[in-house]
Amino acid sequence: MNGLAKDLTRLIGDGKVLCQPEDLLAYANDATHYFRTQPPDAVVLPTSTGEVARILSYAYEHYIPVTPRGAGSGLSGGATPVKGGIVVDTKRLNRIVEIDRDNMTASVEGGVVLQNFHRAVEKRGLFYPPDPQSMSVCTIGANVATRAGGPRGVKYGTTGNYVTGLEVVLPDGSVIKTGGKFVKQSVGYDLTHLMTGSEGTLGVITGVNVRLLTLPPVTRTMVIVCESLDQAAELVSEIIARGAVPAMMEFMIKLAITVMNNYVFPPLPTDGEAYLLMEIDGTAAQVEHDAETIKGICRDMKAREIREIEDERVARVYWKARSAMYPFIMTIFKRCITEDITVPRSRIPDLVRSVQEIAASVGIMIGLAGHAGDGNMHPTVLQNEINEEMEAKAKQAIDMLIRRGLELGGTISGEHGIGIHKQEYLDWELDQIQIDLMKRIKAAFDPRGIMNPGKIWVEGGQQ
Amino acid sequence: MLKLENYRETINKCAHCGYCQATCPVYLEDLLESHVARNRLNLINQVLILGSMPSSQRFKEIVDRCLLCTNCTQTCSSKVPVDEIIIAARAEIGKGKGLKGFVMSKMLQQRGLTGLMSKAGSLVQKMGVAAKQMPQLASKSFDQIYSGTIPAQGDQRGRVAYFVGCGTNFLFPDTGIAVVDVLTRNGWEVVIPAGQVCCGIPAISEGDLAGARDMVATNLKLFDPDNVEAVITDCTSCGMMIKEKYSKLLEADDPLQEKAQALAGKIFEITDFLQLKGLSAAPGSLNQSFTYHVPCHRGWSPTVADAPRNLLGSLPGAELRELEEPERCCGAAGTFFLQHRDLSESIRSRRLEQIEASQADTVITQCPVCRFYLSAGLESQQVTHPVILLSQAYNTVSS
């Protein structure tokens, strides 16, 4: 055991510190394994906020980099340590502290797995909508840190819309509690939402308060096969404008449907140019009403086909296939890099056409799926070989995609965050005044620059 | 062959998404990412394929601390055959040479030698395993009760062969008796080829590919899949082995290859087969509640986990009480529980809580090791094979 691991063990006890290379390898990457990284020098697995505080004050004192980590399922490299140091794995902070039905709030530790939390609240007839596609493994603290969203964003918003308070260990080891159980607060700066999306660069999120909704009793899944991209976009806008907002509304192109047909039976027709997979939810009467409205719109606008999936179990297969899209693509390709551009939803057809043009002009395949309702699209750059030429092409395609997303009035990341992956594009979207302001905020929280260094902006997070 | 060099490409299909954390029983106990498929694959790649990291005690531990339950493989959208890669790595590391490997590969190569089996038992005890942690051998093994061809009762619908696994033969002959009873009542003539040996899954789990291959060859020579409607197994692990691994254990040009593939096309778990073909004889009632512990080795048939629910759930007096997580592992995993006692017991303790919470009279499962291991931990509920309950329901009609 090295000196660092010995010190850490002395601070938090046996069985919570890893320092063997075979273990460190497991914490050297997140889902973006294609970035070159430096494995950490130690991994800690604290079980309490107090332990996290002791680790951070030690790291602060010794100027050791700290990378907080949830499930390591992120797509931006946010949980990837680039300067070694200590990885703080939060997954053993996994207690659901309280589910308060009277106030419709819950309090959890940062490492609670989202799906476990979904199950726990839904058992009580309550609902926590945020649904990043990694929900079977990802943790709520890390959802807050990346401002994670998912298909339900269109109707229900993302993690940030539900967070009402946080417990955070600051880089020097002090612990703050922001916000609380209340859903309204007007007291000073909103540190809760400053921490939300801070990607581990300001502190470690060890506790989260969220507000809850009532669980919609009925859901129904529908697939609309559209003649054209424009028709799909017009349908999306019309459905939302008419108030029949689905809980999820996923946009897919033929390639994605071909992938999905590996899971669903009977297979979906592949003769449309675009597809909308949606789930409507609410009371039985509401669902019926919304379904009729949507079907009426589809008839009026002459969509090719509407498939309603009555059987709950079958419907789950469609959604499971949707969330498996990214890893499934890996059965075909050697590398896939998923982008996260978000545009005003009326610009989706422009974006889709641009994606196709970029793929053709660069000479690389780009898959496409996304959350149509909120304009958050996931073009995925696919490489069937890993070599310098393909990597250069991939980079060129990503540059062009991001440039185009911004031209269409969009943003470079809707829900994945910046991490390492998008740091070179940060100043494409934000002006220098904002970036400098962010750096000053960073310096105020973390004057020694130990928290998740090398993320968000290109160098180190320091001025 | 299940050789690591054949997985050079497939191992890189891992998208590193980490979704395997959701279902790995070992990870869910340890909450250490070192002990989940994503890292196991990465490590095997670095150490044994790329040679960029040296082999070490810790590496071996990580490769060893896997149940081969296939939950990660079933969760994996990239369809990486994690279990096969672990088996290939174990073969390369040279497991299967220790005492347990010897027991697994040599003892189970023979049948009808109960003496030898009990000798195996005493060897295992020397490994420091208390008697009550070991399954008790049945006083009469299945092959001492039934052999040869058992005619159908009433009109014959066809002929099936029965692959009798070690669990049924040595520990739970009551399962085999029920298999024969239910099949023959439903018009199936049952052929039990003499000389069957272990399916080989314990041997590959130890990385003993050569030993497993011998068993595969012995069994393949005994079965004639072209002349039967189906080959029946009552054990989901034997079924997975025969369906998915037999062909892979043989070289591509092995003369037995064709037979291995034919057998893979004909192998069915007993309740799965009954559900597929329908019951020609009506069972009676089953006046009890039951819950279903779905075995981990279910991925080889999309319907094998529905079959017991459908067959038994509709019987008069039967009440199916689903478990909180029907597919959660019990921790036994062949002989894993003998070597990793604390880990297995802590995996099991969560399972026992869920089973007790179901308040069902009976627990059903199609895996003899789950049956033994859950029984050993439960106070009052009995654990049995679904075909035994079905046979009981038939006997309420006859009596």
Check whether residue A201 and residue A234 sit in a common domain.
Answer: no
Tens digits of residue pLDDT in B131-153: 566 778 899 999 999 999 999 99
Q: Please list every residue in chain A whose beta carbon sits closer than 8 Å to the beta carbon of residue B19.
A: 73, 134, 136-137, 327
Q: DSSP letter at B375?
A: H
Number of domains present in the structure of chain A? 4
- ipTM at complex level: 0.92
Check whether residue A318 and residue A394 sit in a common domain.
Answer: no
For residue A333, the chain B residue with the least C-alpha distance is B13
Check whether residue A289 and residue A224 sit in a common domain.
Answer: yes
Are A331 and B22 inside 8 Å of each other by CB?
no
Check whether residue A123 and residue A209 sit in a common domain.
Answer: yes
- Whether residue A266 is preceded by a cis peptide bond, meaning omega within 30 degrees of 0, is yes
For residue B57, the chain A residue with the least C-alpha distance is A22
Q: Is residue A71 part of a domain?
A: yes
Mean pLDDT (chain B) is 92
Nearest to B17 among A91, A115, A327 (CB): A327
Give B123 to chain A, closest Cα distance, Å: 33
- Last residue in a domain, options A259, A292, A323: A323
Are B18 and A137 inside 8 Å of each other by CB?
yes
**What CATH class is the domain B282-394?**
alpha beta
Nearest to B79 among A71, A72, A331 (CB): A331
pLDDT at A336: 86
Q: Give the confidence band of B110 by pLDDT, cuts at 50, 70, 90.
A: low
Give B342 to chain A, closest Cα distance, Å: 15
Q: Is residue A461 part of a domain?
A: no
pLDDT at B109 over 80: no
Check whether residue A360 and residue A258 sit in a common domain.
Answer: no
Contact A209, A165 (CB under 8 A): yes
Domain that holds residue A152: 96-214
Q: What is the CA radius of gyration of chain B?
A: 21
Tens digits of residue pLDDT in B276-328: 999 999 999 999 999 999 999 999 999 999 999 999 999 999 999 999 999 99
pLDDT at A108: 98
Q: Which residues share a beta bridge with A207? A: A109, A167
Long-range Cβ pairs for the range B47-53 (8 Å, 24+) = B48/B4, B48/B89, B48/B92, B48/B93, B49/B4, B49/B8, B49/B11, B53/A21, B53/A22, B53/A25
Q: Is residue A436 part of a domain?
A: no
Q: Please list every residue in chain B whose beta carbon sits closer than 8 Å to the beta carbon of residue A123.
A: none
CB atoms within 10 A of CB B91: 21
Nearest to B39 among A26, A94, A137 (CB): A26
Residue range B145-174: mean pLDDT, rounded: 96
Are B19 and A326 inside 8 Å of each other by CB?
no
Check whether residue A377 and residue A391 sit in a common domain.
Answer: yes
Are A22 and B58 inside 8 Å of each other by CB?
yes
Q: Please list every residue in chain A whose beta carbon sits closer than 8 Å to the beta carbon of residue B62.
A: 22
Check whether residue A118 and residue A187 sit in a common domain.
Answer: yes
Q: Is residue A458 part of a domain?
A: no
Residue A144's alpha-carbon distances to A197, A214, A259, A339, B335, in angstroms, are 6, 21, 31, 20, 42
The amino acid at residue A412 is I
- Last residue in a domain, options A279, A302, A323: A323
Spatial separation of the C-alpha atoms in residues A166 and A144, rounded to whole Å:
9
- Last residue in a domain, options A62, A89, A116: A89
Q: Is residue A455 part of a domain?
A: no
Instruction: Note if the pTM is more than 0.90.
Output: yes
Residues of A with CB under 8 A from a CB of B: 18, 20-23, 25-27, 29-33, 45, 71-73, 89, 91-92, 94, 113, 115, 134, 136-137, 324-331, 334, 336
Question: Over its length of 463 residues, how does chain A's per-residue pLDDT go in tens digits?
Answer: 789 999 999 999 999 999 999 999 999 999 987 776 789 999 999 999 999 999 999 999 999 999 999 999 999 999 999 999 999 999 999 999 999 999 999 999 999 999 999 999 999 999 999 999 899 999 999 999 999 999 999 999 999 999 999 999 999 999 999 999 988 889 999 999 999 999 999 999 999 999 999 999 999 999 999 998 889 989 999 999 999 999 999 988 887 888 888 888 888 999 998 999 999 999 999 999 999 999 999 999 999 999 999 888 889 989 888 877 776 777 788 888 889 999 998 898 899 899 999 999 999 999 888 888 889 998 999 998 889 999 999 999 999 999 999 999 999 999 999 999 999 999 999 999 999 999 999 999 999 999 999 999 886 444 3
Check whether residue A141 and residue A78 sit in a common domain.
Answer: no
Nearest to B77 among A20, A21, A328 (CB): A328
- CATH number for the domain harbouring residue A346: 3.30.70.2740
Domain ranges, ordered by start, for chain B: 4-93, 108-275, 282-394
pLDDT at A369: 82
- CATH number for the domain harbouring residue A36: 3.30.43.10
Tens digits of residue pLDDT in A182-228: 888 899 999 999 999 999 999 999 999 999 999 999 999 999 999 98
Nearest to A137 among B16, B21, B77 (CB): B21
For chains A and B, count residue pairs whose Cβ atoms are closer than 8 Å. Answer: 94
End-to-end CA distance of chain B: 51
Spatial separation of the C-alpha atoms in residues A115 and A107, rounded to whole Å:
15
3-state secondary structure string across A182-198: CCCCCCCCCHHHHHCCC
Residue B86: helix, strand or coil by DSSP?
Answer: helix
Residue A361's alpha-carbon distances to A185, A380, A397, B232, in angstroms, are 51, 16, 9, 56
Which residues 63-122 of B have a C-beta within 8 angstroms of A? 75-79
